[in-house]
Amino acid sequence: MEADGPSGFRNAPVTKFLVPIVGGCSALAAVLNAKPHMVIQLSQLTMDGQFWKLFTSHWAFGSIGTSVVGTWLIYKMKIVERRYGSSKYAALVFISFVASTLLQTGALVSGLGFIKSIASGPYAILFSIMYQFQKIVPASHQTSMLGLKITDKTYVYLAAAQLFLSSSSASIIPCVCGIIVGAIYDQTRAKTWRFPQWIQRFGRNYLSPLLTSKSKKKPSRQPTTANVRPRSAPAPPIDEGDIDIMLGMFPNYTRQDIKNALIKSKSDLNRAAEILLTTEPSASGSQ
C-alpha cells in the first residue's frame, strides 16, 4: 500500500477483470458495427429464439459514449469491492447479473406497451452496485459551486444519471431493475452467499495471475554505513476542522486514526476517506 492509500486496481481484482471485459466487448461491438444487435426485443426472444442475448447483452454497451461512462463507473465502484472484499463483491456481481436478467425478461414479456426493448450493457449490474455505493461510501466535501456543495460522489451520480437516460426506456428499465436487485440484496440473506471454495481457489490460482503484472525489481544498493537512516520530513499540520468533518463521517474511528489518515493523504479528504474504508478502526475506537 502506498502512502496515500491503494491506487489503481490494487485490492480490486474483480474490478480489474470487469473493466477490460466490458470495455473490450463494447469496442469489439463498435468495430463490427453491431449496433442493430445491441438491444433486446421481445420478438427476438419469442419468434427468433435468441435467448442467448439475455446473457451476452450485459457485457457490451451500445455506443462509445455509454461505454466510456460505464467503464469509468465500474472503475469508480472499486471502492465498494475494497469495502466488501473481493469474495463478497464477486458474489454481488453474479447475483445482480442473474436476478436482473430475470427481471428484465419479465419486463419484456409483461405486455406493457412502453417496454419494447432493453438496452445492451451492464446497466443493471452497475446500478445494483451503485445502491451499495450510496449506502456505505461517505461523501467528502471538495468545493462549492453556485451555493451547492460538490463532492466526489456528485460526479459519480451525474455519470450514473447520464447512463440512466442514455436510451430512454430501453436504458431506464435495466437501471431500475438494478436498483431493485441492489435493494433486495442489501435487505435479505442473499448478501451472505459466496461462491463455493473450489471456484474461489480457481479464481485465485488461475485468473488472478493473468490480471497481475509481475515486474522484476532491481536489487537496491545497500548504504555503506549500516546505521545511517534518512531523516524523515516533518508531517504537515492538520486542520482541526478536517478532523471534525472526518469524525462525523467515521464515528467508529478514533481521532488519532483520522489524523493518521489525513497525514497519509496530505489532507485530501477524499483520499483519507478511502484509506479509512480499507483499514479497520483501532480497538479503542470500536464500539
State residue 233's pLDDT score.
Answer: 57
E strand or H helix at 171: helix 169-187
For residue 94, pLDDT over 50 is answered with yes
**Among residues of the chain, what percentage have pLDDT more than 70?**
76
Residue 235 has a pLDDT of 59
For residue 168, count other CB atoms closer than 10 A to its CB.
11
Give the other-Cβ count within 10 Å of 184's Cβ. 17
CB 126 within 8 A of CB 118: no
Q: For the chain, first and last CA: distance in Å? A: 27
- Compute CA 158 distance to the chain's CA centroid, rounded to the nearest angstrom: 15
The region of weakest confidence among 37-46, 128-137, 190-199, 244-253 is 37-46
pLDDT confidence of residue 5: 41
H or E element at residue 255: helix 255-264
Q: Is 157 helix (H, G, I), strand (E, B) or coil?
A: helix
Closest CA to 183 of 261, 123, 127: 127
Helix (H) or strand (E) holding 39: strand 39-41
Please report the pLDDT score of residue 44 as a whole number: 52
CA 62 to chain centre: 20
N residues, the chain: 287
CA pair distance 219, 206, nearest whole angstrom: 28
pLDDT digit string, tens, across residues 233-271: 565 677 777 787 777 777 778 888 888 888 888 877 777
Enumerate the H helices of 121-234 as residue ranges: 123-136, 152-164, 169-187, 197-202, 208-211
SS3 41: strand
Is pLDDT above 60 for 176?
yes
Rounded Cα gap, residues 208 and 274, in angstroms: 23
36-82 per-position pLDDT tens digit: 444 555 455 554 545 656 677 788 888 888 999 999 999 999 999 98
What is the mean predicted confidence (pLDDT) over 80-86? Answer: 90
Residues with Cβ within 8 Å of 222's Cβ and at least 6 positions away in sequence, in order, are none
Going by C-alpha positions, the residue among 4, 8, 6 that lies closest to residue 264 is 4
Q: Which three cell numbers stand for residue 165?
A: 437516460
